[in-house]
Every structure is written in C-alpha cells, then in structure tokens.
Amino acid sequence: MKRQGQHPEKQLSALQLKQKLSPGRYTDGNGLYLIVDASGAKRWILRVVVQGRRRDIGLGGVSLVGLAEARETAGSLRKIAREGGDPLTARREGRKVIPTFATAAEIVHAEHEVSWKNPKHAQQWINTLKQYAFPMIGDYRIDSINTPAVLRVLSPIWLKKPETARRVRQRIGTIMDWAKAAGYRTGDNPIDGIAKGLPKQGDGKKHFATIPSSEVAAFIKALRNTNSGPMAKWGFEFLILTAARTSEVLQARWSEIDFGAKLWTVPAERMKAKREQRVPLSDRCVEILESALNISGDAKFVFTGAAGDRPLSNMVFLAILKRMEIESTAHGFRSSFRDWAAEETSFPREVAEMALAHTIANKVEAAYRRGDLLEKRREMMQAWADFVAGSERTVPSAKGSQE
C-alpha cells in the first residue's frame, strides 16, 4: 500500500551525528540517508529518481559534510532531477570545489593527527596556523595562494619569533604539497625560495636564534678552537654534518656504524617518527668516527663521557653554546641545513625532508615514496659537509641520480 500522509523530513539532528550509531541506514527524509558503515564511518547518500531510474548519489562523509550542507546539496540535486536533468552530470560539471587555505589546513590536520605521538604537538600544529596564517590567508582559495601571500604571513613574525615563523613556514609548505597531490593546485610550492624575500634572522646582532647556513662554517671553525673536550666537539660537529637530532647522536652505538658502506643506521625505537633511519656519512663524518674510535675503544657508545662507558651528557652541546656566547640550540642546526638545501642547492624538497627524517604528511605522497632516497641523500650530505668546510666544490644539481 502507498504510504499515507506527509513524507518524513528532517528526521536527524546534529546531536545524533556525534553519537555512536549502529551500522545501518538512517533516513533524514526526502531521499537523504545517513549510512553508518561497520567501521563506524558515517557518510551521506541521496536516493533520487533520475530520468526514470533510481540512483544513489554519494554526498561525502559526515566529517567533511555537515547535516545542513547535506540537506542543501540534496535539495539542489532533487530539483535538477525533478526538472528532467541529471544530477550526477551537474555535479561533475560543478566540480571541483577548491577549498580555502583554512579548510585545507583543517583537513591535513585531521588526516594526520592520529599519527602524531604527542597530542600537544598535534594541537600546536593547527594552533600556530590559526593564530598567524588564518587571519592573512585563511579565506583564500588554496589554488590562489602565491609566494607574496605567504610572505605577508611570515614577515611580521620572521624576526620577532623566528622559531615560530620557521614552523609556520614548514606547515604551510606541507599544506601546499597536500593541495597539489589532491589536484587542487599546479606548479611549484610557494614556500620554495620564500627566504629570498625575508631578512636574515639575527642580522647585525651578536646572538642568533638559529645560526644562518652561511655562518655554519665559521661556527665549526670556532667550535674546534674551544677548550671543550674532543668527544664533545666531535659529537657536535657530527650532529651538524648529519642534520640529526641531539638524542640520536648522543645515543649512537658503534654497532650502528658501517664504515665500509659509510652508513649509520639508527633503529626505529630511537627515532622520533619510530622508523629506522639510514644516514649516509660524508668523508668528514668518517674522519670524526675514526678519531672517536681511537679513544672510546670497546665502549658501546660512539661519543662517550668522562666515565668511558656512558654517552655524553644531554646538556653538553648547550654548555658549549653558552661558553661561545651564542643564543642558539643544537637542534637549530637542522634549520640551518634545511635553509641551505632550499636556498643554495637544487636538491628536491623531498630529499631534504627525508634527510631530516620528517614524517611524510601527505598520504598520497607517502604511498608513492617507498624508498629512502639514500643515494640522493648521500650526495646531498657530502655537499653539505663540503659547504660547511668552506670547500670550493660546486654543489651538484641533484637532478641526475635516480634511486
């Protein structure tokens, strides 16, 4: 029998969508349904008759399409169908809707929040963008953002809050990479080369929040002339040359070093991203290790403290910087390396990011990048060692080698 009375309308509520629902189909009315999969994922479909045939049209997941938007979209598509048109064709012609920077940032944050081990870091990631980037470019379509727009975001904080500014720069770059992989952008990442439009951080001052890449060679020369112990000086220089984190260097074991392959393999449990990292060793790194081996002998750790059976203190590099009257951190040399790679070389962005053992934020990019670009990174790390040694060797283009 044909159902009597009015068709159901607006049966669902925003509160229901937030609740845990059993797998199944829930009607909102007028052909709009909420589908709850066995996994708990929630999505919208519209059941409508199109030119005499019943069709189910997906409207997207609840995490991206709210109740009000789903109803509005469903109403528009029903209207097209009633007038004899094809809603699917109309949707394809209307696509693709380009998200704003703010929307893109929220999507990237939501996609990767679960992979971050530290909830505080996950919250800080989006909060810095909300505070510094959203007011400037949050409403811009992601495909319209160019280098001058990013420059407007970074300029006010570049010298006042250098560490924050560098983090904002890196996060904007991640979002732009995602947008390109998702098909919302074409062309280069507007972050590339942005430093050319920004002043050198710390210009004209005695102390630096981070040592500019152009001054790393002078720093290493001064480091070698300090009265610190040889192990501490070797360890610090090794950290700079490998662009590694402090804990990774201090906890380095001889069992991880392969002199023949000129390779240092850091196990996953000691890496921030919990993935094994192969670190190619430059000629100077090998020299440092050979010198350390002559002193540490049978010790387990590469850079041993005074006791001989334990690694150097985790404060040793900070103490050296204080004695040298330089306001920086050992970690800051990773930024020096990253700036050098972006501004002074033509090595691809992903090679530098892999050298820093950064997590690949974009899932599409991560799926296609199965290797660790070891040979390209080997060429890069030797070029970095030559650069900070003041070598006149020409930095290679990094375009020829393929792994």
Adjacency order of strands within the sheet including 257-258: 257-258, 263-266, 277-280
The answer as to CATH 3.30.1300.10 being correct for domain 213-388 is no
pLDDT score of 93: 55
**What gap in Å lies between CA 101 and CA 138, rounded to an integer?**
5
* Residue 263 pLDDT: 96
**Distance in angstroms (rounded) separating the CA atoms of residues 104 and 129:** 11
Nearest to 280 by CA among 260, 300, 251: 260
> Which residues make Cβ contacts (< 8 Å) with residue 191, sequence separation at least 6?
147, 150, 169, 172, 173, 176
Residues in the chain: 403
* Per-position DSSP letters for 349-402, written without gaps between them: HHHHHHHTT-----HHHHHH--S--HHHHHHHHHHHHHHHTT--PPPP---S--
Q: Which two tokens stand for residue 292?
A: 């350390």
CA 258 to chain centre: 29
- One of 1.20.140.10, 1.10.10.10, 1.10.3720.10, 1.10.150.130 is the CATH number of 101-197, namely 1.10.150.130
Sequence spans of domains, the chain: 14-94, 101-197, 213-388
| Tens-digit pLDDT string for the chain (403 aa) | 444 555 677 889 888 888 889 999 999 998 999 999 888 889 999 999 888 888 888 888 888 888 998 998 888 888 888 888 888 776 665 556 788 999 999 999 988 877 776 677 778 889 889 999 999 999 999 989 998 899 999 988 888 888 888 889 989 999 999 998 888 888 889 988 787 777 776 544 433 457 888 889 999 999 999 999 999 999 999 999 999 999 999 999 999 999 999 999 999 999 988 889 999 999 999 999 999 999 887 789 999 987 777 899 889 999 999 898 887 888 889 989 988 888 788 888 888 889 998 865 554 444 445 567 899 999 999 999 999 987 544 344 333 333 3
Instruction: Output the CA angle 305-309-310, nearest 5 degrees.
Output: 50
What's residue 9's pLDDT? 79
For the question of whether the overall pTM of this predicted structure is more than 0.95, the answer is no
Q: What is the pLDDT of residue 10?
A: 86
Tokens representing 215? 């001054």
Architecture of domain 14-94: 2-Layer Sandwich (3.30)
3 dihedral zone (left: phi>0; alpha: psi -120 to 50; beta): beta
Q: What is the pLDDT of residue 395?
A: 40
